[in-house]
């Protein structure tokens, strides 16, 4: 497993923990947990097991998590901390797989 996949898996686990903490205050927390916490947890396990497309699907879902976080941060000031953490973790999930390629491209441009 590459370093980028480890970062994605760790961010997905952190995202699942964030959702558990966030929705623990909900009256019946089962529905939000099933919708929000289970997918990043399953994708993190798939990344750790070496599934080749898990990081891709995590990136696709991270776009929705990013949008959700921005919307909640903008409209619900009481939940802004959770929402901004969601945005940050979604950005890590999207950007981590591209870091190695961007670094290699920058090195080529500098002639190193």
Q: Is there a contact between 82 and 22 (Cβ–Cβ < 8 Å)?
A: yes
Residue 26 pLDDT exceeds 90? no
DSSP conformation class of 37: I
Residue 106: the pLDDT is: 82
Residue 57 host element (H or E): helix 54-75
Residue 48 pLDDT exceeds 70? yes
Residue 25 pLDDT exceeds 80? no
Task: For the chain, give the mean pLDDT.
Answer: 89
What is the domain partition of the chain in residue ranges? 3-110
pLDDT in tens, 60-86: 999 999 999 999 999 999 999 999 999
């Amino acid at each position: 497993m590459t370093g980028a996949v480890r970062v994605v898996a760790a961010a997905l686990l952190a995202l699942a923990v964030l959702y558990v903490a966030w929705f623990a205050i909900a009256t019946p927390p089962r529905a939000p947990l099933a919708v929000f916490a289970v997918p990043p947890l399953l994708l993190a396990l798939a990344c750790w097991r070496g599934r080749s497309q898990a990081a891709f699907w995590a990136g696709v879902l991270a776009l929705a998590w990013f949008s959700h976080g921005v919307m909640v941060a903008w409209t619900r000031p009481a939940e802004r901390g959770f929402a901004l953490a969601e945005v940050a973790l979604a950005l890590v999930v999207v950007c981590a797989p591209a870091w190695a390629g961007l670094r290699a491209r920058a090195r080529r441009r500098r002639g190193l």
